[in-house]
Chain A
């Protein structure tokens, strides 16, 4: 345990160095290039959110992009209202095109920045809390959780696309004003903005690590392995599941906010099927057991995607697909698992006991070795 804690701290420090020093240095601290890197950090945050619920508690949420999209849309609504202040009635331009007379009631509070920031964190949490209570009290697990979260996400995405007059429809929300906090205007193409993003990411990951290291984290991992047994010990399993589900949703809401600030628009594709599945893949590539590794996975895969798509315009998606398949087949624990194996080999000389709990019991294989 002690050694594990040391390992996590070292991992966190290395991650902080990568994000704060190495990545900016790679582009010579140029604000323009760092804009792209801020985008990677936002996606890394959402991958960490996936890992928190999936890697710790075994809750596979295929609708993670829903809360991500909500965070992005809330941010965009606030900035759109700011940009539309000079227009007739303060109505955003697209509402005028579709003959919307007055600002819809759910847009009104987004005039306030404080409300917007609170909503980005709390609405995803409340939504996930309700959905979590709905699902986990019925002891819904595994595939069914995946299908339910996916279906809900698609329903919301459909609604957003269809309500052109209220949400901007297929085009999303574009033409946003820059965000200003305490009179400072945030320009996403600056070094300062990158460091703000990095600070947020490190803070959120620190919180996630605290959860993982706490007793609650231990209970969650126990639930992942055997929920029935945890129930016998007298724990309220559904409550733990709901809470981690909600925390994960808040994280992706915040990530959605950063993503919207970086790209300066919000679009229904943020809640799309392919992005949502991609988030899960990033977490799998980095390593679902560790939020830090998952965040690195999100950053690394998207960085590779950015580089590859420049080099091989057409073939990169193909390569990405092949890499995903290879990772799932040969690195079921992701890159983190690989490092963990190496670490154990390194410590083998020190202690023999470490090995016993390190090698997970694999279930009996059913399809190999023909009789």
Chain B
């Protein structure tokens, strides 16, 4: 029983990280069709932001989160205005351009802060853990799970209960007609990109105590996040949540049954087969044609 709960919780913890990283990507890809390969670098920037604030100003991780969100979001706006907005009618080219952006971000960080691994401390009151029916629950991981759910709820609120979300959804349906109604496509797109980037930044900040922070850490996230988005279905928040949960739990269980590498290989193969038979994902977005 203890082992079972333990694995369940590890899967939940992995799923929450996946969800946080994938949320921003799902929004950017779902709204604009931009395949943002620099997303992993946004996560990395968030982790470095948390480290900088802690190292230089002694800020606790929790206080760093809103600052990181705004800072990475701002970087997102700059990138969208400078590069991405010119590529909206060339979706496959966004892969190449954003990969170039990722290289640039990574290299700038390396030049400014060196390649040394950095470590971020957890908030003191989340340092310990507790036993639950024989399973060990690390407080910080539990906090990340709760926070990821909070981010998910907040994103849902923004998309479906605010003026901004309504405008964005209208644009996803039909850009031309939305513009006729006076919606500024340029502004909404820039803000959406910034929001997605900011979410990636938060994910990076929250992951930073669990991994070593390096300039190349983003690459490990971007592929997984993409798999989550594609399996979930483009432009579907519910799909992203469900597929993050599925992939997280599957990773935990397969790693437990075989080993970590075999688990990852099996998941990659399963995703390949899934995409082949359901390219629209689990919950395809319903767009009125």
A residues in contact (CB < 8 Å) with B: 60, 62, 134-135, 138, 140, 142-144, 146-148, 150-152, 154-155, 158-159, 161-162, 273-274, 277, 280-281, 284, 314-315, 317-318, 320-322, 324-325, 328-329, 332, 362-367, 370-371
Contacts and interface: CB of A to CB of B under 8 A. Distances in A.
Q: Is the interface of A mostly helix, strand, loop or mixed?
A: helix
Interface stretch (B65-73, B179-187, B201-209): B179-187
A281 B104 contact: no
A143 B103 contact: no
Given A158-B265, A363-B89, 10 more contacts: A142-B91, A143-B35, A143-B91, A144-B230, A148-B275, A151-B272, A284-B93, A322-B104, A325-B100, A328-B100
Contact of B99 (A148, A162, A314, A324): A324
Contact of A143 (B92, B97, B259): B92
B87 A329 contact: yes
5 contacts: A273-B219, A314-B110, A324-B96, A324-B103, A370-B185
A313 to B, nearest CB: 11
B215 to A, nearest CB: 11
Nearest to B171: A366
Nearest to A138: B276
Contacts of B93: 284, 328, 332
Contacts, number: 135
Interface in B7-58: 35, 37
B92 A142 contact: yes
B185 A280 contact: no
Contacts of B83: 325, 329
A328 B104 contact: no
Interface of B: 35, 37, 83, 85-93, 95-97, 99-104, 106-108, 110-111, 175-176, 179-180, 184-186, 189, 219, 223, 226-227, 230, 259, 261-262, 264-265, 268-269, 271-272, 275-277, 279
A218 B45 CA distance: 46
A147 B99 contact: no
B261 A159 contact: yes
Contacts of A62: 95
